[in-house]
A and B are shown apart, each in its own frame.
Chain A
Amino acid sequence: DAGVIQSPRHEVTEMGQEVTLRCKPISGHNSLFWYRQTMMRGLELLIYFNNNVPIDDSGMPEDRFSAKMPNASFSTLKIQPSEPRDSAVYFCASSLGLVSVIAKNIQYFGAGTRLSVL
């Protein structure tokens, strides 16, 4: 399996522009997570989906952020309009979801997207 695939690897944009980050989870996984990593706040969970349905979006910073999961193999995180304080590394992770066996419930991470908003 290729693992969790995120694109792009790096994104540089200007303030006010729309940014879309993409994620392809591991095939067969039914939970998907979006995290943001910054020096100040560390790793924060933004939102997670179970069976394509958003379960908890309490970590989404504000209305400028939105996430979708139209099918089991694709998710997007959109920022519109982007601001310099959105600069961070954004990770996507997937897991097999709520099962009792821990070995099946490990989160596997993508390589992340480094976003720079100028």
Chain B
Amino acid sequence: AQTVTQSQPEMSVQEAETVTLSCTYDTSESDYYLFWYKQPPSRQMILVIRQEAYKQQNATENRFSVNFQKAAKSFSLKISDSQLGDAAMYFCAYRSNAGNMLTFGGGTRLMVKP
């Protein structure tokens, strides 16, 4: 079974600075998908960014980018120019190419200081 680990329960960043959230996963599969979801205090789970394992190029969505290291099974999220609205729980998730289910990490709480 796949497992997803987020080793940072909490992170803090100054507004306008850059922060990186870590995620590692364990799988024996070669084809899969990785996601970062954001959960603000409203509880809504919002997709931030996704990455296909077969793509070498790191995904980017505006201020959000990932560093995907397939051999190391690492999938970190970088948030540039942090904003107060970025404060939330962030969850890393894995989905097998063969299945339809998401396996989530334990989450990282990001605090943004003004």
Q: Are A42 and B100 in contact (CB under 8 A)?
A: no
The reply to whether A91 and B45 form a contact with Cβ atoms under 8 Å apart is: yes
Chain A, residues 105-116, CB within 8 Å of chain B (1/0): the string is 111110110100
Query: In the assembled complex, how far is the CB of residue B88 from the closest CB belonging to chain A, in whole angstroms?
Result: 13
Q: Mark A18-56, 1 if CB is under 8 A from B, else 0.
A: 000000000000010100000000110100101000011
Which of B45, B101, B107 has a CB less than 8 Å from the CB of A109?
B45
**Given pairs A56-B101, A98-B100, A106-B50, 9 additional interface contacts (CB within 8 A):** A42-B104, A42-B107, A45-B103, A50-B100, A91-B45, A102-B52, A109-B45, A111-B42, A114-B43
Query: 16 A-B contacts, Cβ less than 8 Å apart?
Result: A31-B100, A33-B102, A42-B105, A42-B106, A42-B107, A48-B100, A55-B100, A56-B101, A95-B100, A97-B100, A102-B33, A106-B50, A109-B37, A111-B44, A112-B43, A112-B44
Q: Verify if A79 is at the interface (C-beta below 8 Å from B).
A: no
User: 6 closest A-B pairs (Cβ-Cβ)?
Assistant: A109-B45, A43-B104, A112-B43, A42-B106, A111-B44, A45-B101
* CB-nearest residue of chain A to B106: A42
| Cα distance, A93 to B52, chains bound together (Å) | 20
Q: Count residues on chain A whose CB falls below 8 Å from chain B CBs.
A: 24
User: Which of the listed residues A43, A95, A111 has the most CB atoms from chain B within 10 Å of its own CB?
Assistant: A43
> Closest A-chain residue to B52, C-beta based?
A102
Residue pair A102, B104 in contact (C-beta under 8 Å) = no
Check: A5 CB closer than 8 A to any chain B CB: no
Q: Is A106 a contact of B47 with CB atoms below 8 Å? A: yes
Instruction: Find chain B residues with CB under 8 A from A98 CB.
Output: 100
User: B101 and A48: CB pair below 8 A?
Assistant: yes
In the assembled complex, which residues on chain B have CB atoms less than 8 Å from the CB atom of A109?
Answer: 37, 44-46
Whether A89 is near chain B, meaning CB under 8 Å from some CB there, is yes
